[in-house]
Amino acid sequence: MQTKYPKEVILKDGSEAVLRPLEERDAEALLQFYRSIPPAERWYMKEDAADPSIIKKWTDRMDPYRMFSIVAWTDDGIVAHATLIRNVFGGMKHGGHLRIMVSPDFRRKRLGTWMLLDLIRRAMDSGLERLRSEFVVGAEDAAIEAAYKLDFYKAGVLTDYVKDQDGNYHDYQIMVKHLHTEWSDF
């Protein structure tokens, strides 16, 4: 059973956000969202989401089977972006990859949790067996803590793998979640 969108969610502080799939017309708002994230909080991303060409690539090549993105909207515009990336070839097609970014003003309000739960549901409905996410230790500790609460476990750590803008090395933690076919299987 796929999640129905748009979906209104109430956050921990009583404020509201609307979740819905990313659309091509969201490109400018998504770019503004990533540009609002301080560079010190996005240096570890695999692509520079403050670059219009990256956002264009993400919004022009949307394939909901391979990559499904949701955004959270408030009166301020997009305040969070989450993506489920499916492996569609070879020996890893039973797995998917998650990535999420939440505006600093909306962290610790459970917005990321709402989005993560929606993507987990989509992964389960798609027949995926495992989800993977990676985190930079020391930079994403709150996200690591949230992942543990949602039954992700530490599958490995690459020691001193990520180098920040000041030349300091950080551990890169890989976390995995085994999926069930139904919520009642937990």
The C-alpha atoms of residue 180 and residue 26 are separated, in whole angstroms, by 32
Q: Give me the mean pLDDT over the 59-76 stretch.
A: 88
The C-alpha atoms of residue 119 and residue 102 are separated, in whole angstroms, by 15
Burial class, 160, CB count within 10 angstroms (exposed 0-12 / middle 13-18 / buried 19+): exposed
Give the pLDDT score at 46.
Answer: 81
**Is residue 78 very low, low, confident or very high in pLDDT (cuts 50, 70, 90)?**
very high
Whether pTM > 0.85 for this model: the answer is: yes
At residue 64, what is the residue type?
P
User: What are the tens digits of pLDDT across the range 90-135?
Assistant: 656 788 999 999 999 999 899 999 999 999 999 998 889 999 999 9
CA proximity to 109, closest of 154, 77, 74 = 74
Q: Residue 186 above 60 pLDDT?
A: no
